[in-house]
Chain A
Amino acid sequence: DVKVTQSSRYLVKRTGEKVFLECVQDMDHENMFWYRQDPGLGLRLIYFSYDVKMKEKGDIPEGYSVSREKKERFSLILESASTNQTSMYLCASSATGGAYGYTFGSGTRLTVV
């Protein structure tokens, strides 16, 4: 069963901490994405990557960075966590030209206190 795995289901971090969210996919997909999901706002794209070491800003990249050193792994970094970054974070992957949409992970619910 193909899978996108996010390392943590729940995280609680303090304001100002550097936070790492990890995502691994086993489908050999070229493209990987990080979204945050908030009530009433839906899914908003933070960053995406279409190849190893490549990254592009999404719609709300401020306060975040990403790293993709290997094809299967895409990390989201909160440089200095703030309370307005409390959210559900979803990782997804897709194949280029696959025309089958995204496969999502189960999400990480991050609370910044």
Chain B
Amino acid sequence: QKEVEQDPGPLSVPEGAIVSLNCTYSNSAFQYFMWYRQYSRKGPELLMYTYSSGNKEDGRFTAQVDKSSKYISLFIRDSQPSDSATYLCAMSVNDYKLSFGAGTTVTVRA
């Protein structure tokens, strides 16, 4: 079993829809949780960063962490074609060495 599980999709939604992405994990020691966005032929870029449980909102993006269920989510509201990318979850015990999910490919149709 992988340490971090992420459904690879692909996920296709119409413009304006809410995109819901999630990851599960097995290591209860994880306490730093991140979402990265990766456009085609580019390196990943940090999108959201959360420490421990709770919610964090940044514009159209909301990250949720439920440590009791070992489950994290990313929601994208009012999705745009420019949101089409691969989204990677990542997590860490010590904010140093990250464990990544496999990534979910999202397409937002105009």
**Count, chain A residues at interface, CB 8 A:** 25
CA distance A90 to B95 in the complex (A): 19
**Count of A-B contacts judged by CB separation below 8 Å:** 54
Indicate the size class of the contact surface on chain B. 20 to 34
Which residues of B are found within 8 Å of A105, using beta-carbon distances?
A: 43
Let me know if B6 and A101 touch, CB within 8 A. Answer: no
Please tell me which one of the listed residues B46, B90, B97, B102 contacts residue A40 in the complex, with CB atoms under 8 A apart. B102
CA distance A4 to B44 in the complex (A): 12
Let me know if A96 and B88 touch, CB within 8 A. Answer: no
Verify if A64 is at the interface (C-beta below 8 Å from B).
no
Let me know if B44 and A99 touch, CB within 8 A. Answer: no
Which residues of B are found within 8 Å of A107, using beta-carbon distances?
A: 41-43
Q: Which residue of A lies closest to B45 (CB)?
A: A104
CA distance A45 to B97 in the complex (A): 9
Please tell me which one of the listed residues A42, A92, A98 contacts residue B88 in the complex, with CB atoms under 8 A apart. A42
Let me know if A100 and B43 touch, CB within 8 A. Answer: no
Let me know if A99 and B6 touch, CB within 8 A. Answer: no
Do A42 and B103 form a contact, CB below 8 Å, given A94-B96, A99-B49, A101-B90?
Answer: yes
Verify if A74 is at the interface (C-beta below 8 Å from B).
no
CA distance A105 to B103 in the complex (A): 17
B-contacting residues of A (Cβ < 8 Å)? 4, 31, 35, 40-43, 45, 48, 50, 90, 92, 94, 96-107
Which 10 A/B pairs are nearest by Cβ-Cβ distance? A104-B43, A42-B102, A43-B100, A101-B46, A106-B43, A42-B100, A101-B34, A104-B44, A107-B43, A105-B43
